[in-house]
Structure 1
Amino acid sequence: MATAPSRFLRRRIGIVALFALLVVATLVSACFGTRDIALSTTWQAIVDFDPTSSEHLLVVNQRIPRALVSVLVGLCLGVAGAVMQALTRNPLAEPGILGVNSGAAVLIACGIAFLNLTAPVHYMWLGLLGAALAGAAVYLLGGVRRGTNPVRLVLAGAALSIVLGALTQLVILNGLEEVFERFRHWMVGSVAGRGYEVLLPVGALALVGLVLAFALARPLDSAMLGEDLSRSLGGSPNRVWTLAGVAVMILAGAATAAAGPIAFLGLAAPHLARLIAGVDHRWVLPYAGLLAALLIVVADTLGRIIPPQGEISVEIMVALLGGPFFVYLVRSRRIAQL
């Protein structure tokens, strides 16, 4: 049996290796698109920017912010999924359980239909507001103030998502054709066209959410034991649920608002993290975030390389890449129990 120091060392090495892979994948991602650029040119654009070079301008103004948005979205969804699975003690939980996807969708649909919004940055702010309102409503409907009941929260999230989904369809189907087209481009889940105007606010929100989530790493370990055991260990379940819910709303809301609803990442990444690092959330959270970020960056890159023309949306590529591997883990019974 491995000793505690050796496990600690392996976990640290794993974190460093994942971070290095993520950096390499981000640099490679900036090389591909409608116009491929050599890796050496991409690196030169970063360390010695030449404003007179069209390739440098393309890398710095479009490719790099797109890649960094992908990283942030992955980090947010991976960590948010790990927090949700710990809180609800449900291996199928993911950030959308709080209704953030449906809340973002309904406000963005209204913004497109009634305010004629077209810019991704406008979608982001509306999506963030919708995600926050939906998450708060789920918490109130789930009666979290009366106690930490995962079943009540899940049912409230499912019910509200159905209602908000119906409202979204009502707005889109009764709008003009261009309303449907604009909404469709956001709904498929994509990081195309995301620049610094999206990257900077998403980065700030991600930082707040990640700091809050990592501060709750130890309390999440006790929360997984149930309310009674958590109290006996000196924990405060209501406080943990409230703060963790805020962290999930910030992380999932920022990711959804920036890139649209991207499924699977928040579900699969925590399972892969527990498979590698065990159940200690001081390690599960960083592993889940880095694994999700690496997967979405690779998926976005392949989505630009595989098709001869155009590109495949990142949500589709994430499902195509990660789905089969996740099914293998389930069938091999290597998914960690919660």
Structure 2
Amino acid sequence: MTSVQQSPTPSAALPRRSALGNSAWLVVLLGVLVLLVVASVTVGSRDVEWADIVAALGGSTDNIGQGAIAKRIPRTVLALLVGAALGLAGAVMQGVTRNPLADPGILGVNMGASLAVVVGMAWFGLWTQTAMLWVAIFGAGITAVFVYMIGSLGRGGATPLKLALAGAATAAALSSFITAIILPRNDIAGNVRSWQIGGVGGATFDAIGQAMPFLIAGFVICLLSARSLNSLALGDEMAAGLGERVALARGLASLGAVLLCGAATAIAGPIAFVGLVVPHLCRLLIGVDNRWLLPFSALVGAALLTAADVVGRIVARPSEIDVGIITALIGAPFFVYIVRRQKLREL
């Protein structure tokens, strides 16, 4: 009797790291997150005490310290959510395109969401948070499809370098369009420019609540795409041979990433490089299995953006630097490093 040889599962075909080691990193990361949350609530232009924190959690704003904490709590929640969304979206985009340079900012997705929001503000009077969320997601989706189509032209299809160049060119063009729209509109120019930098300083629980359905849907879709992304990592032909519906898997994962990018951009502005840096750091820690990589990317993204917000408050006391500037200072050198490494591999 001949035995039937079973095909390996996608996860089994990938390089594996110790589950115990990954669990240990998870404990460390959760501890770091707790410390960062405490720092985010307590660090700022005014020092606070634990009594103020307890009173603020109970809804009291009787003194200046309690009032400051009441503003920092939604700010901290927003930094955690936006960082997690961008980190997870970056990991998914890199998995869908098999492109180590993929990032919501580098591929122009954030800028597409920004242009849609600016057009909605300037031409259609869309100032409500719900309207901004919908148009941002629409703009992010259209831009993602456009960049992938442009990057797929020519020999070799959608190579990492071609996608990065297409995304950078698209982002530059969209940025020019945004400038052309807001220059003659002094009534919205100040607010738009401040929003374009990217920050979490104006966070409110009302705005966070309106974005939560989109963020939750994006998180669920992306995390459920882990197995499909493991299949896609083996190549389209191998993935199809393992029973994966390649086009459907890529489309669903991309939908989740677009929801996260659009919602994050609408409530915090176009924050760049989080989606680039975080997945690479996570791969160094826990490997390439997306069942671990995706949740780790969300947690590390939350930690990175929260830390950037705290650093921005410390280095410019009593003022502050928006997180979009801090992440750009971190991410730009890292992007150059990844590009150089990728070019050396292609030689």
Q: Normalised by the shorter chain, which TM-score bucket?
A: 0.7 to 0.9
Deviations, residues 81-111 of structure 1 (Å, cap 9, x unaligned): 1111111111111124664322222223224
**Counterparts of residues 1-338 of structure 1 (less than 5 Å):** 7-46=18-57, 48-50=58-60, 52-53=62-63, 55-60=65-70, 62-96=71-105, 99-114=108-123, 123-124=132-133, 126-135=135-144, 150-151=158-159, 154=163, 161=171, 163-173=173-183, 175-321=184-330, 326=334
**TM-score normalised by structure 1 residue count:** 0.83
3-state secondary structure, aligned to 2:42: coil
Letter in 2 for 1:164: L
Distance 1:311 1:111 in 2: 29
Identity %: 37
8 Å CA contact retained: 2:16, 2:289: no
Check whether the contact 1:108–1:183 (CA below 8 A) recurs between aligned residues.
Answer: no
Structure 2 counterpart of 1:251, one-letter code? L
In structure 2, give the amino acid aligned to 1:165.
Answer: S
Instruction: Kindly indicate whether the alpha-carbon contact (under 8 Å) linking 1:27 and 1:43 is maintained by their aligned counterparts in 2.
Output: no
**Which secondary structure state, in structure 2, belongs to the residue aligned with residue 194 of structure 1?**
coil
Report the count of equivalent residues: 325
Structure 1: runs of 5 or more not aligned: 144-148
Structure 2 CA distance for aligned equivalents of residues 11 and 279 of structure 1: 12
Q: Structure 2 CA distance, aligned partners of 1:122 and 1:36?
A: 37
Contact 2:98 2:233 in 1 (8 A): yes
Q: CA deviation at 1:190?
A: 0.8
Distance 1:49 1:105, change over 3 A: closer
How far apart, CA to CA, are the structure 2 residues paired with 1:292 and 1:106? 24
Kindly state the Cα deviation for residue 116 of structure 1 after the two structures are TM-superposed. Answer: 5.9
| 1:207, distance to aligned residue in structure 2 (A) | 1.6
3-state SS of 1:95 partner: coil
Contact 1:89 1:224 in 2 (8 A): yes
1:107-148 CA-to-partner distances (Å, cap 9, x unmatched) read: 2322443456777776555434432443455578789xxxxx
Gaps of 5+ in 2: 1-14
Distance in 2 separating the partners of 1:68 and 1:159: 33
**1:147-194: per-residue Cα shift (whole Å, max 9, x none)?**
xx6449937756654553343232123x13343322110111111111
CA change 1:10–1:200 in 2 (3 A) is: same
Would you say the 8 A contact 1:27–1:39 is kept in 2? no
Distance 1:250 1:331, change over 3 A: closer
State the shift of 1:259 in Å: 1.1
- The 8 Å contact of residues 87 and 150 in structure 1, kept in 2 or not, is answered as no
Counterpart Cα distance in 2 of 1:131 and 1:203: 17
Contact 2:105 2:271 in 1 (8 A): no
Sort the Cα spacing of 1:110 and 1:184 in 2 relative to 1 into closer, same or farther, 3 A.
same
* Inter-CA distance 135–321: structure 2 relative to 1 (3 Å threshold): closer
Contact preservation (8 Å) 1:76, 1:289:
yes
- Per the TM alignment, residue 24 of structure 1 is displaced from its structure 2 partner at its CA by 2.2
Displacement of 1:247: 0.6
For residues 209 and 304 of structure 2, what CA distance do their matches in structure 1 show?
Answer: 22
> In structure 2, do the counterparts of structure 1 residues 6 and 77 end up closer, same or farther at CA, with 3 Å as the change threshold?
closer
Q: CA deviation at 1:15?
A: 1.4
